[in-house]
Amino acid sequence: MNTIDFIKKFQIELKNQKSSFKEDCLKLIISTKNNQQRSIYRNLFDFKAINSDSVIFDLESYFSDDNYPYYEFSKFEIIDFWSNPIRFNIPLEVIFQKDESKIREFHVEEFELENYCRNVFWDNNENNMQFNLVSDFNPFEDKIITREMLSKIYRTCLFFNIKDWSDYLEKIININFPSFKFNKRLSTSKIKRYSKEISNNLILGFEFSTEFKGGLRNHEFHLPYKLKLFLSEKNFETFDFNANYFDSFYLDMGILGNPYFFTPCYMPFEYFSRELYFFPEILHNTTFKSRHEIQLEKLDSSNYLVKSPEEFGLQLKKCTFRYFNLLSLTTNSYLKYIESCILNSI
């Protein structure tokens, strides 16, 4: 397939079909406005009152710009939908907000809504049942360290169980994106790929780097929250990030997520940071205070047992489960839109 020809047709389809995508987004807002899923509005709050009416008004205005959406090769690392190759008219005002009182007021309201939505999510028996089926593992490893090593670790250095976290991530992906199957042939030690066939010659998939394991090893809870969509011919040769893949048709389709509901709740590492260091300055303008610390048990004159906070580990598992649950909810309409645009472009 000729990449340039495909992109020209794809550009046209993105605009032709955006009205149906808009309708699906509006339906999502209406269906979630009275339940715990309304935390997905967080990207559309724009420092205004958090309610579905203002979100619907804003969404209508964003879709009214005829210049969007369009496809553009990204020259930079894709870290959000502002750098995404598929560009949408999305809110930017939140970045340039200067009024500190409004920022504080917004964060307080967002913080309270997030907590409420999270609590109601876990009041649901089905959510708990699914979570219990995949979450039976110890999130941390107990470590024995020497007296000399004490000065090299912080009270907040958590020793993650890397293998089980990696397995847990795969299980959650399988639950929330069942139409995409792990593609062993296209995966490497550095990158995992999931895909599905959408035509006789094309596959649509998503990928993520396994570098998050290094973060866990360094006591940082950076599970991959941003999965990257790709489109390719079935016979393309596998590669790692930044490799030369132009010998076969492969197209970067950007972030797996809905541009208007991304991220749909606190990201795993965002939740980790907020919980590890409670942010009282949001509410009371005071200093940081650590909330979850390791415990040291002296074994003998030279060795200590490091134990991580079990309750915090449970909350991290729950936060990750909920994040991917809401990512799936908000992404379904976007995947439907992108796949339809692709199929009408080939």
Q: What is the pLDDT of residue 315?
A: 92
Mean pLDDT of the chain: 84
pTM across the whole model: 0.88
pLDDT at residue 281 tops 50: no
Tally of structural domains, the chain: 1
124 or 223: whose pLDDT is higher? 124
User: Region 276-286: what's the mean pLDDT?
Assistant: 52
The three state secondary structure string of the chain is: CCHHHHHHHHHHHHHHCHHHHHHHHHHHHHHHCCCHHHHHHHHHCCCCCCCHHHHHHHHHHHHCCCCCCEECCCCCCCCCCCCCCEECCCCCHHHCCCCHHHHHHHHHHHHHHHHHHHHHHCCCHHHHHHHHHHCCCCCECCEEEEHHHHHHCCCCCCCECHHHHHHHHHHHHHHHCCCCEECCCCCCCCEEEEEEECCCCEEEEEEEECCHHHHHHCCCCCCCCCCEEEEEECCCCCCCCCCCCCCCCEEEEEECCCCCCCCCCCCHHHHHHHHHEECHHHHCCCCCEECCCCEEEECCCCEEEEECCHHHHHHHHHHHHHHHHHHHHHHHHHHHHHHHHHHCCC
User: Region 289-316: what's the mean pLDDT?
Assistant: 80
pLDDT at residue 54 tops 90: no
List the single range of 49-53, 191-195, 258-262, 325-329 with lowest mean pLDDT.
Answer: 49-53
Q: What is the pLDDT of residue 6?
A: 92
Q: What is the pLDDT of residue 113?
A: 84
pLDDT at residue 76 tops 70: no
Q: What percent of the chain has pLDDT over 70?
A: 82
Full domain range(s) for residue 305: 3-343
